[in-house]
Amino acid sequence: MTTINELKIGECLDEITLSPVTRLDLIKYAGASGDYNPIHTIDEEAEKAGLPGVIAHGMWTMGNLAKLFTPFYEEAFIEDYSIRFKGMVFLNDVITLQAELRDSGEEKMNFKVKASNQEGQQVIKGSVVLRRWPQS
């Protein structure tokens, strides 16, 4: 899809399935974001916290999900982006990113967004409001 204006209510943006999560993905995100909480990178620390293994930063998943909208920056920008963190993402999980148009007006478009794992469980969910640029 090259333009977001053609999208109809109930339709989805092209979904993206990420490569299986690797430790290096999480180490890179820790470095890029400055979030060095060791439960995201070091197994022993994750286990001490009662987890079966390291988990992805919730913000890593939220950051990834936003890229569904990046191609449309000339038409509209993300005005509101709300996420509830529902489930944990572990190494080797395969995450799929989805956005469905729920409502559309002259100024704004409302999307329901979510990321799910290979079991179909939602790991994050929420909404994105795109604001269209004024026509010039």
Partner 1 sequence: MLTHAIGKRSNKVKNLVERGAVKKFAEAIGDLHPIFVCEETGKQSRFKQNIAPPTFPRVFDYGIIEELNLPEKGLIHGEQIYHYERPLHVGEDVHCYCEVKNYYERRGKSGEMGFLLLKRYGEDLEGNLLFTEEQVVIITETVRREMMV
Provide the minimum distance between the beta carbon of 69 and partner 1 in the complex, in angstroms, as a whole number: 8
Provide the minimum distance between the beta carbon of 34 and partner 1 in the complex, in angstroms, as a whole number: 6
Q: In terms of CB distance, is 9 or 22 closer to partner 1?
A: 22
Closest listed residue to residue 134, CA positions, set 110, 107, 111: 107
Q: In terms of CB distance, is 39 or 109 closer to partner 1?
A: 39
Close Cβ partners of 25 (under 8 Å, ≥ 6 residues apart): 56, 60
Provide the minimum distance between the beta carbon of 67 and partner 1 in the complex, in angstroms, as a whole number: 4
Instruction: Give the binding site for partner 1 (CB under 8 A).
Output: 18, 25, 28-29, 31-35, 37-39, 45, 49, 58-60, 62-64, 66-67, 70-71, 73-74, 77-85, 133
Question: Three-state SS for 129?
Answer: strand
Distance from first CA to last CA of the chain, Å, rounded?
23
Output the six-digit token pair for 47: 């286990």
